Structure 1
Amino acid sequence: MDIILGIKLNDSVLIATSKAVTRGISVLKASDDKTRNLGDHSAMAFTGESGDTVQFAEYVQANLKLFSVRQNYELSPKAMASFVRKELATSIRSRKPFQVNVLIGGCDINKETPETSLYWIDYLGTNVELPYAAHGYAAFYALSLLDRHYKPDLNEEEGIKLLQLCNKELSTRMPIDFKGLRVKVINSQGVKEYDDLTAL
């Protein structure tokens, strides 16, 4: 019952994840963080089997950190997405594949003009760059709203209003309380985190 949403704006990327951890009809935790920072200007949101998700996210985070320490260089979001895609594609061909779906958002500060991007990656290793994306139950309800209201030149305030619209729709239609959305704003200044979308 996880919710993961991503929206690429004109100068930043928004990633929102549900805070509830559920098993069957029970809510096990109401303040879970389903994201990991991959660098100073990038973050990854993940959903899937509970053991796989945390293990895979920490593996990716540690390997990308190791690369940046060794090379004294932060990979671009595109390169990070390619690394994650390769790891998932290799995993699916093993005896114990990871059942993890991922969104990666980031800002490439190595370019002359910093450029934001959002990548949708599924457990089969499919990697697509999109202006907005969703995994989990959010895809059933929120993608139609994003189709209708998304514009490439949205600023941060307009993007947050669009996320709030998605949150309202999900709250109305979903049969469980997903305990609200945690939001990360990624831009050329870094990654800002907001614990509660309704407070913005």
Structure 2
Amino acid sequence: MESVFGLVGKNFAIVVADTSAVHSILVHKTDEDKIMLLDSHKLMGASGETGDRAQFTEYVQKNVALYQFRNGIPLTTAAAANFTRGELATALRKVLLNWYFDIFTLWRTEMLVYSYKNPYMVNIILAGYDKDVGPSLYFIDYIASLHKVDKAAFGYGSYFALSMMDRFYRRDMTVEEAIELVDKCITEIRSRLFVAPPNFLIKIVDKDGAREYEWRKSIKDTPPVAAA
């Protein structure tokens, strides 16, 4: 029941994500940070399979840092979004390429054993601030679709977050107005979603950089019970 959403304001962009680490019917923790700081002025909010989400966002983060180290300048937000989209597309197509290759080489023995590589099952909201462009937000889904948008959402919470943003969003919103809208989205998700995540993390990026802004918590993790 993940919920990740974001929006662009007058001189900033905000990304919000739930902080629940869930497997099947179990909640393992409620303080999982699903918004990666790619560099000083970029945020990547991700939803999807836990392993894919952690591995892929770290992979993108390290490659963004590597580009800056090699070239002396950071990637723009648009370039980082296109790099992310390209890596998702490459991983997605490895499945079909390996399948066709192995079927071609093994068809005489009628064997269907092949090397199977999974694509990354992650959906991404990438936000950034560029000096010459200002704030921007990119929607990237698990099948490598890429769109520059003013607002976006993934997960079951998107049904309600998108509805609230469609009703109240404006492109020239101040930070205070945007946070008020974020709180409306969180309240709606908590009240309407049958299994709603209790805690949310809000991060912001503007000319001063990318940083954590606020938490919205309704429960806290309890320490494990010591064995008798």
- Whether the TM-score (by the shorter chain) exceeds 0.5 is yes
Residues 50-99 of structure 1 deviation map (CA, whole Å, 9 limit, x = unaligned): 11111101100000001011111111111100000000111110132111
Instruction: Give the superposed CA RMSD.
Output: 1.4
Cross-structure match for 1:149: 168
Q: Which of 124, 128, 136 in structure 2 is aligned with 1:106?
A: 128
Runs (5+) with no aligned partner, structure 2? 96-117, 219-228
Asked if residue 171 in structure 1 is aligned to residue 193 in structure 2, the reply is no
Report the CA distance between 1:2 and its aligned residue. Answer: 1.1
CA–CA distance in 2 between the matches of 1:152 and 1:16?
A: 17
Cross-structure match for 1:33: 33
Cross-structure match for 2:67: 67
Larger Rg belongs to: 2
3-state secondary structure, aligned to 1:153: coil
Instruction: Give the counterpart letter for 1:159 in structure 2.
Output: A
Report the TM-score, using the length of structure 1 for normalisation: 0.94
3-state secondary structure, aligned to 2:84: helix
Detail structure 1 runs of 4+ shifted over 6 Å in the superposition.
none
Q: Retained in 2: the 8 A contact 1:164–1:198?
A: no
Cross-structure match for 1:3: 3
Residues 122-171 of structure 1 deviation map (CA, whole Å, 9 limit, x = unaligned): 01110001100001112111111100100110010100000000000001
Runs (5+) with no aligned partner, structure 1? none
CA–CA distance in 2 between the matches of 1:184 and 1:194?
A: 5
CA–CA distance in 2 between the matches of 1:24 and 1:195?
A: 28
Cross-structure match for 1:184: 203
Q: Which of 86, 89, 97 in structure 1 is aligned with 2:119?
A: 97
Count the aligned residue pairs. Answer: 196
